[in-house]
Amino acid sequence: MRRVHDSRSERGSAAVEITLLAPLLAAFILVVLYGGRLALARQAVQAAAFDAARAASLARTPAEARTQAALMAAATLANQQLPCASTHLDVDVTGFAKPAGTPAIVTVRLACDVPAGDLPGLPATVRVEQQATSALDTFRGRR
């Protein structure tokens, strides 16, 4: 015996399935967008921190190191086209106090509040922080 399927019993089931899966698909797309945006932001802040540390290590004085680090961090973030709602730069220049001939480093900590409010369900900004170090030239004069 053959069973006869009544096509009327399955009518509208595709619409119900799509209605149930649409929110999950939308949430998945938002997670992918957020993850990609966060990865790009981390890479940009990391590049800015390394550039700032290098610029600070080439300076002769602690004040010049802080100034050069701030300028380089701002320039790199602008080149990376990362719109920070606010930034915080901390430059550790204690290595300048060591006498020439002694190994020393400059450490830069950079934080950027990246806007994420255009994606629904997420906070308005997300803080991305990175740290980088660069060695001071051992035999270069320091002030």
Q: Give residue-wise pLDDT tens across range 12-51.
A: 677 777 888 888 888 888 888 888 888 999 999 999 999 9
H or E element at residue 126: strand 125-136
In angstroms, the Cα distances linking 31 to 11, 49, 118, 126, 140 are 33, 27, 13, 14, 49
Which band of pLDDT confidence, cut at 50, 70 and 90, is reported for residue 141? Answer: low
Structural domain spans, the chain: 12-136
Which band of pLDDT confidence, cut at 50, 70 and 90, is reported for residue 2? Answer: low
Q: What is the pLDDT of residue 79?
A: 95
Q: What is the pLDDT of residue 142?
A: 62
The count of other CB atoms within 10 Å of the CB of residue 36 is 10
Identify the DSSP state of 123. Answer: -
Look up the pTM and report it: 0.79
Answer for the pair 112, 105: CB distance below 8 angstroms, yes or no.
no
Q: Give residue-wise pLDDT tens across range 87-139.
A: 999 999 999 988 888 899 999 999 999 888 777 777 788 899 999 999 998 87
